[in-house]
Chain A
């Protein structure tokens, strides 16, 4: 069996907005040519700052949004058109978990009902079997069976996120896209949820896309990591490698910006300026206005994401593919 579960090729998503019938339309390229692949039971971390297009990428690979160009394949077949029967059938096999669990849950229904809902929608099991499944799911995410009758507001933030995860895994999906799933949680609770996701992955062989701005969490949970900047992947490698030897100047700055407990403010790379607006994309390499190494070529020519070695790709003119990894020209 093919080990690649999800593949995306050259995904592009542009949003066009028009304020009124007499106004000119403006176009924003939120995702600008992204290719990625994800093996079964593995985790791909996507990191990037606001406006990098990481959440849009997550919705595109789930088929929740239609790409402007490019294609997504799931388990070897192309993503069916939105709202078709095949598309609906796929919903059970891929699920989304996002940041705010309170918004994801219906406050008028008990959590037991909500966890059982996907089973009902996809007509899995009899009523009695569904009840048992709900109990098993509650236990699997570390909640108690008697909590099935609780309402979302009676739970803590961490418990609510567990409920959302229980619901997401109810139909035994093969793919879970988690968009900032722990960002709203306190650190001690964050670790509980991260461990839960890892355990579930191990037990059930779920493939995960883990989208976050928190490099530390991504480091811990991901097998591979893609770094996004303004709609493009600028570097991709294994989690071990990318944090040990970041090659793209942007990744280096990101890694360096993470405070390391116990170390005073050290020599770190402080980027100048702000992430640019996707509507006003710089020419050439989008990162060049903030890059310390930028030259004329970077201003004029957009670098392709190219493999540096077997397992490590970088989109930067200054990282020579023939030089030993980690060296810049």
Chain B
């Protein structure tokens, strides 16, 4: 078990390092922050001074070493724009994002999983077909399109809900809905296929053959097995709680982490972009880790593998 944990932690750290490195390289190769931040009319001397000031005239490997050394000391840098600490800037946006993503996650689970299970239990029925058509429509539609459609219906036409901003809870309704529908569709499809697969297994027939009532077969024998693949998807959704709302936050001008990311990328505000990417990688890795532990909890076959490793 100890070796298993050690291996996992090692892999998690490696993943984070790789992601951060990749982001670092790509950001530096895709545009000059000095030019963008100082504006097109800035005199060349000012730009050169800016570069020197931020260490942008060093070779890229040296910049990378500086950056990495700073991370190891817990320093994630400051915004090139206004000199504020990157960590603080990002941290103050997190609650706003969570206000959207946590209710959205709950809604996805509450809609998607029961719908998928119901569809699996009534396979090929009218309701199954409707659920699946809805699910496919839900997750194939890009969220900016879906967001705009919802705005068109509920804000422009009906005038029930505001189309942007963060002033009251009514402002959160449309972004949450936009985020939930796609995820609910994915979950519905996944739970349905997981459930259908499990219902075809011989042990389900065994449970019926020994006289267990069907409702109890579903609850006691099928669900615990079907949960195993669904947990992967849920883990992914949990992993994107912090940064999963980039598009929706932009559409509804919601001041969360996602919007900060979009703005910072446009501005080449390197420290902030890197800080957010580090945050995304870390939450993904942590949620993946939790999923793995949960797997062991749900599936005794994996548990004994983990114990052996």
Binding site for B on A (CB under 8 A): 19-24
- Report A87 CB to chain B, min CB distance, Å: 35
Q: Which of B1-25 contact A (CB under 8 A)?
A: 3-4, 6-7, 10
Chain A minimum-CB-distance residue to B4: A20
**Which of A19, A21, A24 is B10 in contact with, Cβ under 8 Å?**
A21
- Report A36 CB to chain B, min CB distance, Å: 34
User: Majority SS of interface residues in chain B?
Assistant: helix
Binding site for A on B (CB under 8 A): 3-4, 6-7, 10, 305, 308-309
B305 contact set on A, CB distance < 8 A: 19
Most buried by B among A21, A22, A24: A22
The 8 listed contacts between A and B (C-beta, < 8 Å) are: A20-B4, A20-B7, A20-B309, A22-B7, A22-B10, A23-B308, A23-B309, A24-B3
User: In the complex, what distance in Å separates the CA atom of A23 from the CA atom of B4?
Assistant: 8
Chain A minimum-CB-distance residue to B8: A20
User: In the complex, what distance in Å separates the CA atom of A98 from the CA atom of B7?
Assistant: 38
User: In the complex, what distance in Å separates the CA atom of A315 from the CA atom of B10?
Assistant: 49
User: In the complex, what distance in Å separates the CA atom of A20 from the CA atom of B6?
Assistant: 9
User: In the complex, what distance in Å separates the CA atom of A43 from the CA atom of B7?
Assistant: 49
A19 contact set on B, CB distance < 8 A: 3-4, 7, 305, 308-309
User: In the complex, what distance in Å separates the CA atom of A109 from the CA atom of B305?
Assistant: 39
User: In the complex, what distance in Å separates the CA atom of A21 from the CA atom of B281?
Assistant: 23
User: In the complex, what distance in Å separates the CA atom of A23 from the CA atom of B5?
Assistant: 11
User: In the complex, what distance in Å separates the CA atom of A253 from the CA atom of B163?
Assistant: 80
Chain B minimum-CB-distance residue to A24: B3
User: In the complex, what distance in Å separates the CA atom of A20 from the CA atom of B305?
Assistant: 11
Chain A minimum-CB-distance residue to B306: A19
B309 contact set on A, CB distance < 8 A: 19-20, 23
B7 contact set on A, CB distance < 8 A: 19-23
User: In the complex, what distance in Å separates the CA atom of A192 from the CA atom of B308?
Assistant: 46
A24 contact set on B, CB distance < 8 A: 3
The 8 closest A-B pairs by CB, nearest first: A20-B7, A19-B309, A22-B3, A23-B3, A22-B6, A23-B309, A22-B7, A20-B309
User: In the complex, what distance in Å separates the CA atom of A220 from the CA atom of B3?
Assistant: 51
